[in-house]
A and B are shown apart, each in its own frame.
Chain A
Amino acid sequence: MSNEIGRPSESDSGAAPYNFGGEWKPSQLEIDRRAARKERNRRNAAIAIISSIFVIGGLALVAVTSPGWKSLSDTFFAWAYGVEVLPKIILGFGTNVALTLIASVCVGIFGLSIALIRTSRSPALAPFRILATVYVDVFRGIPMLLVLLLVGFGIPALRIKGLTNNVLILGTLAVVITYTAYVAEVIRSGILTIHPSQRAAARSLGLSHFQSLRFVVLPQAFRRVTPPLLNDLVALIKDTGLVSILGVTDAVRAAQIASSRSFNYTPYVMAAIIFLLVTIPLTRFTDRTLRRSIERQNATGVA
């Protein structure tokens, strides 16, 4: 037929015509392409492995053969001594874990409250909005170490009856104060990225202000800020080590005690390894979450 509509399929070129509805089998063209791709992936993997062995192996060789290696490994990698003090450090790390758990719950609650106060427009909350802004500005702007010293040594110095001078509680308080300021800002930025039309749609359906927040705005905001919040969690775990300066026997303090007894720094390395065992998986997980959330936003963002 001369007035054929559409392009005829070029079945003689090796590619089978697309068969609507029938069972699909890859054409020879596609089979070849897949084989070529597989081959290329295999080659890339081989190159990566070989170059890694060379570079990392080379670096290790340089380190081990350097003149200082002997004293370095005696000072930092005395494994026998490290294993000996390990139980104490692990016990201390229990404090870091507990502190992290308690602090992150408190930070979550206070951070969300402050974010909500700062994004609200209710006139009744005006004074709280000002206070929240000042709070966030102040505690995001000073080193956490200073907050720890001020709270940990300052509050007991007041000698007020009924006020605790338990260093663990004061240390936790300092961590919570600092991280609440960070987290409040992260959550607030998440709330602000949700387009006003979403709230308008919710309100026009008759949902109250609170319901719109609860069911429409916050779920979307939290999805967007999950990766930065996980980042803050990793930072929080590490920063719990700072409470050791108040005399809390956490992993860092336990390592310090063990190290000063023997003038050997292996306990610090052991403590570092224990922190890494927790933070590295969490960081990987954060990366994966971030990648997923970017994919999701790319999928929806265009429309």
Chain B
Amino acid sequence: MTQPVLKVNQVRKSYGAEVVLEDISFSVPVHTATVFIGSSGSGKSTLLRCINLLDQIDDGSIELDGEDITAVDADVDKVRRKLGIVFQSFNLFPHMKVIDNITLAPMKVQGISKEVARENAYKLLDRFGLHDKAQDYPDRLSGGQQQRVAIIRSIAVAPRLLLLDEITSALDPVLVNEVLSTVRDLKIEGMTMVLATHEMGFAKQVADEVCFLHHGKILEWGTPTQILEAPQQPETKEFLKRVHEAGRL
């Protein structure tokens, strides 16, 4: 059996007295997508931030390709180079053109020449239908286009694992689809991903495994069909019922 890309072991995280993550364990095999669902405040963003080492965990460990990235002597910059993260609020660099947003990390972090970095960036922009936006500043783009640029920016460094945190919740419904289809394409191409989302329909389409997070604990996990259609736990049922009522299923 091959080793999973990501392995999270009994991770715990608290902010002061508030325990945000408790005994979180799961693993993500290569080329698969693990989707976290759960109500607001259940700890989804915190989990992704911990994996990306933007936040420090209080207990447990996280392994990337079998290497403990939460070890005291782990090289944070090196770990981050293997991880891509896309945020809910895009966080593009407003003072740089789209193309420069994308080529910054390949050039400065990976030391790729400007010509090659640009060539790769244009290939990615082409593939996601954004070629004509390369020379624009981010604020000239629609929300959906900005988010797709943010996705391209994080895959331009060819990460081992891509973390996507509610990447569509700042977008209106029409734009959601173009972003989701971008993620679906990535999934088909074999990108390994961990996602947090409120879009259950989307979760069903891309997830290999769905985890339901409730007050910082994984209450239930399984295939999308198991969790989304035949949940066992009362909390999961309750959550899905509320999502259903809000018209998101």
Contact = CB atoms under 8 A, between A and B. Distances in A.
A and B physically associate: yes
Interface of A: 197-198, 200-208, 211, 215-216, 219-220, 223, 299-300, 303
Interface string B77-109: 100110111010101111100000000110011
B202 to A, nearest CB: 23
Interface residues of B, number: 24
Nearest to B109: A206
B139 interface: yes
Contacts of B94: 220, 300
A206 B93 contact: no
Contacts of B80: 203-206
17 contacts: A200-B91, A201-B91, A202-B93, A203-B54, A203-B80, A204-B52, A205-B84, A205-B104, A205-B153, A205-B157, A207-B108, A208-B77, A215-B104, A216-B93, A299-B139, A300-B139, A303-B139
Contacts of A201: 87, 91-93
Among A198, A203, A205, A219: residue with most chain B CB under 10 A: A205
Interface string B139-182: 10001000000000110010000000000000000000000000
Contacts of A198: 91, 93
A207 B104 contact: yes
Nearest to A220: B95
B105 A205 contact: yes
Please classify the interface of chain B as helix (H, G, I), strand (E, B), loop, or mixed, using the class held by over half of its residues. mixed
A206 B77 contact: yes
Nearest to A204: B85
A250 to B, nearest CB: 39
Closest 6 CB pairs of A and B: A206-B81, A201-B91, A205-B105, A206-B109, A300-B139, A204-B85
A242 B54 CA distance: 50
B104 A219 contact: no
Nearest to B93: A216
Nearest to B156: A205
Contact of B143 (A202, A206, A303): A303
